[in-house]
């Protein structure tokens, strides 16, 4: 987004870290809820 608010390297680091954690936990959680657990590296645990 090339808006008036320029993003600093710190902004990017926070954004990337937060988003990756949220999506990683979402993936693990959604599959676990369905009875399809995943390993740490996202491969099927069953």
Partner 1 sequence: MLTRLISRSTTQSRWQTRFWILALLAMLLFFIGNVPDSSSGIGFVDAAHASETVAEEAVELKGAPKLKREDYPQLLGMSSRSIVWVIAQMHLYLAAFVLAVPLFVTVIEWIGVKNRDDRYDDMAHEFMKVSMTAYSLTALFGGTLAFALFLLYPDFMGYMMRVFGGQTLVYAFLFFAESAILYIYYYSWNSLRYGNKKYIHLSLGILLNVVGTTLLFIANAWATFMMAPSGVNEAGAVTGNIWEIMRGPLWNPVNLHRFVANIAFGGAVVGAYAAYKFLSAKSLELKAHYDWMGYTANFIAILAFLPLPFAGYWLMAEVYAYSQQMGITAMGGILAWLFIVQAVLIGTILLAANYYLWSGMSRCDGSERYRYLIKYIAVTLVVCFLIWVTPHTLILTAKETAALGGSHHPMLGPLGIMPAKNIAVNLMLIATFLSFQLYRRSDKEVTVAWAGLGNALLVTIYVVAIANVIFAGIYYGYFTNTVYKVGSSVMQVVSTLIVIIAGVTIDSLMFKGAKTLPSKWGQVSNRAQYALFALPIAFTWLMALMGYVRSSVKTHWHVYTVMKDNSPDNYIPAIGHAGNMMTIATISFVLIVLFIFWIASLSESRQVKPVASA
* Shortest spacing between CB 40 and partner 1, in angstroms: 15
Site string for partner 1, 13-42 (x = CB under 8 A): -xxx-xxx-xx--xx--xx--x-x-----x
Q: CB 19 → partner 1: shortest distance, Å?
A: 4
Structure tokens at 29: 């959680």
DSSP letters spanning 6-30: PPPHHHHHHHHHHHHHHHHHHHHHH
Q: How many other CB atoms are there within 10 angstroms of residue 24's CB atom?
A: 13
Return the number of the residue (34 or 40) whose C-beta is nearest partner 1.
34
């Amino acid at each position: 987004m090339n808006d008036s608010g320029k993003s600093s390297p710190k902004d990017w680091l926070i954004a990337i870290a937060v988003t990756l954690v949220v999506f990683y936990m979402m993936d693990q959680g959604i599959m676990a809820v369905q009875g399809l657990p995943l390993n740490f590296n996202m491969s099927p645990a069953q």
